[in-house]
Amino acid sequence: MTIAIYPGSFDPITSGHIDIAVRACKLFEKVIIGIYETPVDKNLLFSTEERVAMAKKAVAGYPNIEVQSYKGLTGEFARRVGARAMIRGLRMGGDFEREFNMAMMNKKMFPDLELVCFMASVEYQFVSSSLLKEAAGLGGGINQLVPPHVATALRKKYKITNSD
C-alpha cells in the first residue's frame, strides 16, 4: 500500500488544505493528514484535539484519508506510519522556496521519503490559515474558505455573532 503523509499545523484546516488532501487521495492508496502538535514558530488558536476533530470532520467522506496528530520530526512520523511520500501544497513563489529548503533537509535525513507538491487550485491561491484567522478575528467573511464547522469554530473562538 502506498501511503503519503500531508503534514502541517492545520490551525485551522481550510478548503485549500482539503482540496490538496482530496486530490492526493486519488493518487495514493492512503493519505494521512499529520497534524503537528507543537510547531515552534506558530501561535496556535486551536488545541491539537480541536484541530484533529475539525480535520476528521472535513474529510469524513473520504475513506482513504486519515487524520493523526504527531510530535517530533515529520520524517520520523512518516517512518512510523509507513509513508513513502510527503504531500505539500504550493500557493506562490515564496512557498516553493520554503518547501524546497525543507525538502532538501528531509532528503538528507530521510532519503527514502519523497516530496510530492500540489499546486494550489486557483480559488485557494491566496488562502492561508494565518490570513484566515486574521479575517475571522476582525469579523470578515470566511464561509467560502473553510467548511461550515470550521467557520463556526472560528466565530466561537473570536466571539463573533455574525455569519456571512
Burial letters 93-128, b for 16+ CB under 10 A, else e: eebeeebeeebeebeeebeebeeebbebeeebeebe
| Residues carrying an active site annotation | 17, 42, 91, 129
34 exposed, middle or buried (CB, 10 Å; 0-12, 13-18, 19+)? buried
